[in-house]
Amino acid sequence: MVAKKGLAELGEFGLIERIRQQAVPAPYLRLGIGDDCSIQAVAAEDELMTSTDLLLEGVHFNLEWTDFESLGYKSAAVNISDIAAMGGVPRCLYLGLAVPETVSVEQLEQFVAGFVAAAQAYGAVLAGGDTCRSGVALVISVTAEGTAPQGQAVCRSGARPGDLVFVSGTLGDSALALRMLQQGKQPSAQLAFRHHRPQARVTLGRRLAETGLATAMIDVSDGLVADLGHILSASGLGAVLHLEEIPLSSGFSEVLIRQPEWLELALTGGEDYELLFTVASESAGDIVRLAAELALPLTRIGTLQAEPGLLILQQDGGHYPFQRSGFDHFSSDKIY
Amino acid sequence: MVAKKGLAELGEFGLIERIRQQAVPAPYLRLGIGDDCSIQAVAAEDELMTSTDLLLEGVHFNLEWTDFESLGYKSAAVNISDIAAMGGVPRCLYLGLAVPETVSVEQLEQFVAGFVAAAQAYGAVLAGGDTCRSGVALVISVTAEGTAPQGQAVCRSGARPGDLVFVSGTLGDSALALRMLQQGKQPSAQLAFRHHRPQARVTLGRRLAETGLATAMIDVSDGLVADLGHILSASGLGAVLHLEEIPLSSGFSEVLIRQPEWLELALTGGEDYELLFTVASESAGDIVRLAAELALPLTRIGTLQAEPGLLILQQDGGHYPFQRSGFDHFSSDKIY
C-alpha cells in the first residue's frame, strides 16, 4: 500500500512540516504552527469569539462523494460560519486530523490546500493543530477564533416579539444535493457546489453586527426549523413563517417539480450556512438596502411573536405539517 | 441496549444542556456554552495562546484501562499542559465529543465532571464544544486558550549554547504504567495515577515565564528525547544529558530493579507532562530557589551546546544507546 508507506515514512512531524509550509502569516499572529501554542494579539477594543466543530467520516461526510480539497474547504468554512453568525471577523483556525492508513500524503495536502484556501477567502489563517493516526475513519476537528468590537456580537437571545425573520441566499440546496447523492443520483453542479463548498456569510454577519440591525442571529447548519428554534428558545418567543416566502434556488425549484415532497429539505435539511436573523420591523428598509449593497438576497420569511411555538403557514392558510425539526446527532438516522 | 436508548432519547441538544449545567462561569467569559461561539474579553496587556489536541479511543486511550472521570480529567489536563509549557494561564476550554452507541449518558456525565474538575483545578472553564455520534470509537477534541502578559511567552526557539537543561518532577512513570497495562500487569496506584491523572505544571510554567528564567520550554508529551529534540531543532542546538541525573520516582526505580531495560521509558516514554526547560547557567541558583518555593523537584539533567545532536552519557562515560526517539503517530506501533 503506497498510501500507508508514504505517511509512515513522512512521519507525524514531517506531515506537520508539510502543513506548516502551506500556512500563511498574519499581522496579528505572533507565533503560528510549530510550538506548544499559537500566540496572537487581541486589540483592547475587541472581544474574542471561539467556536469548535468535529467532523467524522461516515457521520458528516462520505469520501466517495467529495474530493479532499473540497472537504478541506468545507471543514474551514462551516466553522468560520459560526464566527459569521455572531458578526465576527474570523482570524485563527486550528486543525486536528486523525488519519487512517488509507489516506495518502497527497490527499492530506489537497485537504490542507482547501482548508487554507477557505481560511484565506475569509481573511483567516491556519495557526495550529494536531495530527495522529486513526484506526478506521478520518476525523477532523476545527476550532475558529474571531473578533468583533466589544458589544457588537449578535447572540441568539436578543430577538423581540414583532421582529421580522430574514434569511440570506436560498435554503435546501445542500440537503437536496445530499439526498440525491444518497439515492445514487447526480446533483446539478450548482447544487453540488452548495453542498461541497458552502460559503460563510462573513461580510453579511459583520454588517448586521456593526449596524446593530440584527437583534438575534444564527447560521443555518441544522436546518431552518431547528435553527430558528434555537433563536426562539434562547429569546423565549414563537414565530409564524410563510412557506411561499422561503427562498429557493432555481436548481432546487426545478427538482421540486418532479419531487414536490422534497420541499421539506428547505425547512429541515441543514448545511445551508446561510444567516438567519431577526430585525425590528422598522428596520425592514435597511435590510432591503443592505441586500442591494451586498448583491445578496435577504428574504423576509416571517414574524416573531410572544406566544411560543413555530407555525409555517401555506398559501391556502393551512399549517404546513413538517415531519422532523432538523438534524439531531443522537436521534437521527445515519445520513452519510 | 440501555446506553444507546439513553443518549438517543436525550438527544444532541439535551446532552449539550446536561454539559452546560456542569460548566461554571468566569469573569472574563461573557458568553459560554449555548450560542454559535463563546465570547471573552482579553486584557490589552495580554497575549492569547491557543492549543488543540485530538484524542482517539484505541490510539490515545483504552476504555478498559481508564474510567470516564479520569479520561475527562486527563483530556483537559494534557491540553492545559500546552498552555503551561509556554508560561500561560489557562482560561477557556472547548470540548468536542463524538460518541459511539456503547457509551451511556452517565459515562458522558462522568467524563464531563472530570473535564470540568481539571479545568477548575487550573483556573480554566469549559466555554463551548460540539457533540455528535461516532460510528465506532470515542473521539475527543480539546482546544485550550490561555493568556500571558505580552512578551512573556516562552517558545521552543530561545535556547542558547551553554544553557542548562532542567526538568520538573520525575520522568517515565506514565509510560511505565502504560507498559504494565499493555502486559496485563497492575501498576502501583502511584504509577497509575501519573498515567490517568497527569498534572499540568501551570504554576511552574507561569513563574518561569514571568521571571524570564526559562530561555526555552516544552512539556514532555512525546518523551524526553523527542521533546528536547523539538527545543534543539527550534533553537538550532545540540545537548549532552547525564543519564544518572534523569529524575525517577521511587515507584519507577522499584520496578527497574526487576526490569532494568525499562529505564528507556524515562527517556522516550512520553505522557509525563512535566516541563522541560533551559536556563542560562548563571540562573541555576534561581531554579534551586524556585524548586524550594514550589516544593517541586526541578532537576538539572544536562547542558546545551552549539554542535547539533543529542548525547546521553552514562556514569561510565559511555553513550546510552536509546532505541527510538519518542512517539510518532504515523511511524510507531499501535500502543492502545
pLDDT digits (tens, 9 = 90+) for B268-314: 999 999 999 999 999 999 999 999 999 999 999 999 999 999 999 99
- What's the gap in Å between the CA of A145 and the closest CA on chain B? 9
Place of cell 441566499: A169
Cβ-based contacts of B329 with chain A (< 8 Å): 12, 131-133
Residue A39 in contact with partner chain B when CB distance is under 8 A: yes
Task: Please report which residue ranges of B25-154 form alpha helices under DSSP H.
Answer: 68-84, 105-121
pLDDT, average across residues B136-141 = 94
Q: What chain B residue is nearest to A332 in terms of C-alpha separation?
A: B8
Residue A208 in contact with partner chain B when CB distance is under 8 A: no
pLDDT, tens digit, 9 for 90 and up, residues A157-167: 999 999 999 99
* Best B17, B18, B37 residue to mutate vs chain A (most A CBs within 10 Å): B37
Q: Indicate the Cα dihedral angle A251, A254, A255, A259, nearest 10°.
A: 150
Checking DSSP bridges between strand B139-149 and strand B46-56, what pairing results, if any? antiparallel
Residue B124 in contact with partner chain A when CB distance is under 8 A: no
Residue B60 in contact with partner chain A when CB distance is under 8 A: yes
In the DSSP assignment, the letter for residue B170 is: -
Nearest to B133 by CA among B20, B52, B2, B15: B15
Q: Is the per-residue pLDDT at A2 higher than 70?
A: no
Q: Is the per-residue pLDDT at B203 higher than 50?
A: yes
pLDDT, average across residues B90-100 = 97
**B82 in Cβ contact with B51 (< 8 Å):** yes
Nearest to B223 by CA among B279, B265, B284: B265
Q: Is the per-residue pLDDT at B156 higher than 70?
A: yes
Quick one: pLDDT band at residue B321, thresholds 50, 70, 90? confident
pLDDT, average across residues A142-157 = 97
Residue A205 in contact with partner chain B when CB distance is under 8 A: no
pLDDT, average across residues B159-173 = 98
**A88 in Cβ contact with A127 (< 8 Å):** no
Nearest to A115 by CA among A17, A6, A22: A22
Per-residue model confidence (pLDDT) at position A327 = 67
Instruction: Give the whole-angstrom CA distance, residue B280 versus residue B284.
Output: 7
Q: Is the per-residue pLDDT at A3 higher than 50?
A: no
Terminus-to-terminus CA distance in chain B, angstroms? 26
Quick one: pLDDT band at residue A333, thresholds 50, 70, 90? low
Between chains, do A35 and B130 touch, taking CB under 8 Å as contact? no
Per-residue model confidence (pLDDT) at position B4 = 46
Per-residue model confidence (pLDDT) at position B317 = 87
Q: Is the per-residue pLDDT at B2 higher than 80?
A: no
Residue A141 in contact with partner chain B when CB distance is under 8 A: yes
Q: Is the per-residue pLDDT at A334 higher than 80?
A: no
Per-residue model confidence (pLDDT) at position A95 = 97
Rounded to two decimals, the ipTM of the complex is 0.94
**A299 in Cβ contact with A245 (< 8 Å):** yes
**Helix (H, G, I), strand (E, B), or coil: what is residue B130?**
strand
Quick one: pLDDT band at residue A223, thresholds 50, 70, 90? very high
Specify the DSSP element, H or E, that contains B141: strand B139-149
**A268 in Cβ contact with A326 (< 8 Å):** yes
Cβ-based contacts of A36 with chain B (< 8 Å): 51, 82-83, 85-86, 156, 218-219
Q: Is the per-residue pLDDT at B171 higher than 90?
A: yes
Q: How many CB atoms within 10 Å of residue A192?
A: 21
Quick one: pLDDT band at residue B1, thresholds 50, 70, 90? very low
Domains and CATH numbers, chain B: 2-149 (3.30.1330.10), 164-313 (3.90.650.10)
pLDDT, tens digit, 9 for 90 and up, residues A61-73: 999 999 999 999 9
Sign of CA dihedral B328, B330, B331, B333: positive
Q: Is the per-residue pLDDT at A4 higher than 50?
A: no
Nearest to B332 by CA among B226, B261, B220: B226
- What's the gap in Å between the CA of A87 and the closest CA on chain B? 10
pLDDT, tens digit, 9 for 90 and up, residues A72-126: 999 999 999 999 999 999 999 999 999 999 999 999 999 999 999 999 999 999 9
Q: What chain A residue is nearest to B229 in terms of C-alpha separation?
A: A13
Instruction: In chain B, count H helices and then E strands.
Output: 10, 12
Mean pLDDT over all residues of chain B? 93
Q: Is the per-residue pLDDT at B6 higher than 90?
A: no
**B102 in Cβ contact with A29 (< 8 Å):** no
Residue A97 β-bridge partners: A131, A140
Between chains, do B328 and A35 touch, taking CB under 8 Å as contact? no
Looking at chain B, the whole-number percentage of residues with pLDDT higher than 70 is 95
Q: Is the per-residue pLDDT at B259 higher than 80?
A: yes
Between chains, do A50 and B38 touch, taking CB under 8 Å as contact? yes
Q: Is the per-residue pLDDT at A129 higher than 70?
A: yes
Mean pLDDT over all residues of chain A? 93
pLDDT, average across residues B127-131 = 95
**B55 in Cβ contact with A139 (< 8 Å):** no
Between chains, do B96 and A53 touch, taking CB under 8 Å as contact? yes
Between chains, do B85 and A331 touch, taking CB under 8 Å as contact? no
Residue A126 in contact with partner chain B when CB distance is under 8 A: no
Burial class (CB in 10 A: 0-12, 13-18, 19+), A285: exposed
Cβ-based contacts of B91 with chain A (< 8 Å): none
Per-residue model confidence (pLDDT) at position B46 = 97
- Portion 81-120 of B in contact with A at CB < 8 A: 82-83, 85-86, 88, 92, 94-99
- Portion 157-176 of B in contact with A at CB < 8 A: 157
Type of residue found at A294: L
Looking at chain A, the whole-number percentage of residues with pLDDT higher than 90 is 86
Phi and psi for A319 in degrees, rounded to 5?
-95, 130
Specify the DSSP element, H or E, that contains A30: strand A29-31
pLDDT, tens digit, 9 for 90 and up, residues B216-253: 999 999 999 999 999 999 999 999 999 999 999 999 99
Looking at chain A, the whole-number percentage of residues with pLDDT higher than 70 is 95
Q: Is the per-residue pLDDT at B336 higher than 80?
A: no
Per-residue model confidence (pLDDT) at position B334 = 57
Between chains, do A141 and B52 touch, taking CB under 8 Å as contact? yes
pLDDT, tens digit, 9 for 90 and up, residues A18-57: 898 888 899 999 999 999 999 999 999 999 999 999 999 9
Residue B76 β-bridge partners: none
Per-residue model confidence (pLDDT) at position B82 = 98
Nearest to B200 by CA among B228, B224, B169, B226: B169
**Helix (H, G, I), strand (E, B), or coil: what is residue B159?**
coil
B50's CB contacts (< 8 A; 6+ apart) are A37, A38, A40, A92, A94, A127, A128, A143, A145, B143, B144, B145, B146
Per-residue model confidence (pLDDT) at position B295 = 98
Residue A38 in contact with partner chain B when CB distance is under 8 A: yes
Specify the pTM.
Answer: 0.95
Place of cell 504554576: B203
Task: Please report which residue ranges of chain B form alpha helices under DSSP H.
Answer: 2-22, 68-84, 105-121, 173-182, 189-196, 202-210, 224-235, 250-258, 264-268, 284-294
Cβ-based contacts of B141 with chain A (< 8 Å): 52, 54, 96, 141, 143
For A233-302, give the DSSP string: HHHT-EEEEEGGGS---HHHHHHHHH-GGGGHHHHH------EEEEE-GGGHHHHHHHHHHHT--EEEEE
- What's the gap in Å between the CA of B51 and the closest CA on chain A? 5
